[in-house]
Amino acid sequence: RKPTKTFQQEHYTENFIQSILTALGDKLKGSVLVVGGDGRYFGDVAVDKIIKISAANGVAKLIVGQNGILSTPAVSALIRKHQVTGGIVLTASHNPGGPDNDFGIKFNTSNGGPAPDAVTENIYKITTQIKTYSIVPDLKVDITSIGSSSYEVDGAQFQVDVIDSVEVYLQLMKEIFDFPKLQSLIKGSSGRPPFKLLINAMHGVTGPYVKKIFLEELGAQPDNAVNTTPLPDFGGHHPDPNLTYAADLVQAMQAGDFDLGAAFDGDGDRNMVLGKKAFFVNPSDSLAVLAAHLDSIPYFKKTGVKGYARSMPTGAAVDRVAKANNKELFEVPTGWKYFGNLMDAGRLSLCGEESFGTGSDHIREKDGIWAVLAWLSVVEHTGKPVEEILKSHWKQYGRNYFTRYDYENCSAAPCNQMMDELEKKVSAPEFKGVTLSAEGRSGSWWRQEVYVPLTGDIELDVKWALQTLVQVDGAQFQVDVIDSVEVYLQLMKEIFDFPKLQSLIKGSSGRPPFKLLINSMHGVTGPYVKKIFLEELGAQPDNAVNTTPLPDFGGHHPDPNLTYAADLVQ
């Protein structure tokens, strides 16, 4: 993943595609590849380049989603169904799209999963040495219409199959889930009212999948799905299904009478699930609940439940289920590719990450739509609403508290420096066994290295494989660094009618804008004022002053009265 403008540099994308194909080695000639992406800006250009370069390199066939559209889970499903060489996925996942945002190209191997480290390292090595690429510049292939086209290139046949983006994935979901039961749940039956959904595709790739599966197949109403048209810039939004970027879903769930809400990211592999009135199911709990109820899904009645896995940063709620069910539990480094070898070895049925990713061994990618269908299966099987399911789960297994915080657009250098310094500190011989204390309580710190299952490798990249815990009086104690404003903002939204306040401040027909002047006095309220009054309620930037917290409050006395706030009075 890089800025779109990087891929638009002369020869950049061509060189990268050639490097992927070269890395196939003796598997390149006569290979078959799946190609598709999330519909973001520059995707159509990239597909055209892939077709022309593949033709020149002896690839026998490309399976391309219509208009270049394929969700990441669908790519994995197609690779596995057709048993092909691999796939090229055009996505920057949950990151924003457009000419000034991000684009990405990744390679999935023949098992349908992300390329393992050895493959990606080889591709990177080739990119540092590449001098030329092969291309058929005049080859024109129409990817807007479903059908098969054949061409002769240097005496060999080259075929491009343009396919329905949804059909193979839909059939796979029908093999996994009991669609008639889910139809009955959603449409309602005697003694059971219709189960109302609200699904937000965030203008990402899942739009066509949502309309086909939830509306046409399961019978949800047209207004149960929103933002279902894939757009190159995702409608100007950040296609990340969380409480921040799917705030419109949260607000609609709070205001409406929907039973379950869901959002999916740009390429369809991440999901967020909400219960009635926007009851939030955090990803760690979601994984644990599904683990406890896999018997409600026909697929697992056939295959059996082999084991569970989670990434290292993910909350340990699923560990409790594994212990209760006497199943294997694996903890892996961050990266979905580390689940794949466990699945291929027949040791893993269900896995997930705290970054809103959940999936099973039906493919080798996380799968947002699969996760929501799984939740609907649990609701149908138990007859309980989402919130009650989760609260019953906590009562039976106990509750693990987990929160994720994202720090975006940070400069890499100081972040790397921080992690390097932390690594040095906790790895130093003199630090081992050091006791830390505060307020009469004490504990010791330790470092946990995360092993890649079945390989014995230790992941030493401390950016995501370093877990620092503290043991206090025999119990694990965790420190979460939180967004100082977000929880308070959500509380204010529960108390006050923000839309009415927005209308007051911005003005409306017959009512001029209501002008504010807020002085934070260089105190702690600065970030709160900017977030609530400026960003949320729509006040102008010059309506707030002294919003940067300073250690000495700018040399002033931070007491809001006529004397010390005289600058506001004036």
User: Which residues are tagged catalytic?
Assistant: 93
User: How many CA atoms lie less than 13 Å away from 198 in the CB half-sphere?
Assistant: 20
Strands 260-264 and 197-200: parallel
Q: Which amino acid is at 430?
A: E
Closest CA to 544 of 507, 518, 515, 522: 518
- Do 288 and 397 form a contact (C-beta atoms < 8 A)? yes
Q: Record the tokens describing residue 92, joined without a space.
A: 């920057």
Supply φ then ψ for residue 177, to 5 degrees: -110, 160
CB environment 487-504: b (16+ within 10 A), e (fewer): eebeeebeeeebeebeee
Dihedral of CA 287/293/299/301: which sign?
A: positive
Torsions phi, psi for 341 (to 5 deg): -70, -30
Tokens at residue 406, please?
């994202």
Helix (H/G/I), strand (E/B), else coil: 186: helix
Q: Which residues pair with 331 in a beta bridge?
A: 310
Closest CA to 46 of 1, 103, 116: 103
Is 251:283 a contact under the CB 8 Å cutoff? no
Report which of 143, 120, 166, 146 is spatially closest to residue 45, judged by C-alpha positions. Answer: 143
Q: How far is CA 7 from the centre of its chain?
A: 22
